[in-house]
Amino acid sequence: MSGEHSAETLLTLAELRPSAVKLLTRTDGGKPDGEPLTEFTSQVLSLGTPGLVAAGVLNASACALLAEEMGRQGRTVVAVLSRVVPWRHEGGVAINAILSAYVAHNPRQALTWIEREVTEGRAEGLARGFGERLIFCVESAGLLGGRSSDEVVAAYLEAFFDGLGA
C-alpha cells in the first residue's frame, strides 16, 4: 500500500495517526462536536494542504472498507455519503468530489479540489467533514458486518496504518 502514496503523504499520515486513533476510539458518546473531532480537525489544519491530502487518503480507505462490507465499489459509498442531508452543502459537495477522485485512483484531481477549498477559505470545513465521514464509514462498516464498533475500529486502524508502515 505504501507504494501508492508519496513520501510526504506517508509522513503526514504518521503525524495524523494519533488524532485519527483518538477520533475513532472516542469516549465522548459520539457527540459530533466532541473534543476528538475538534482535535482531529485542528491537527489536519496544522499540517496544511498535506494534512488535508492525508485526511482524504484516510477517508478513501474508510470508503473502501465500507464498500467491501456492502459488497459494492467505492463510488457507491461516495454516492451514499452524498445522500446524507446535513452534508448537502457546498463543502460537502467538495468532499464528495475529492473522495470520488480518490476512489477513481485520481489523486491529482483530488489535490485540485483540496487546493480549491483551501484557496476559497474552506479548509476547516473540509478537515472537519473528513473527520465526520471517517467516523461514519468505519462505524457503518461495523454495523453492516455485525461486529462491534471497537472491533472494527481496531482492525481498520491496524490494517491502515500498519499497511503504510506509519
Kindly state the cell numbers that stand for 155: 482492525
65-97 pLDDT, tens digit each:
999 999 999 888 888 888 887 787 888 889 999
The pairs formed by 42-48 with CB atoms below 8 angstroms and a separation of 24 or more are: 43/15, 43/16, 43/18, 43/19, 44/16, 44/19, 44/127, 44/130, 44/131, 45/123, 45/124, 45/127, 47/12, 47/15, 47/16
The C-alpha cell at 164 is: 503504510
DSSP H helices in the chain: 7-24, 35-46, 48-70, 74-81, 90-103, 107-119, 123-145, 149-164
Question: 165, 36 in Cβ contact below 8 A?
Answer: no
- Please compute the mean of the pLDDT values over residues 37-62 and round it to a whole number: 95
At 109-120, the pLDDT tens digits run 999 999 999 999
Q: State the pLDDT at residue 88.
A: 77
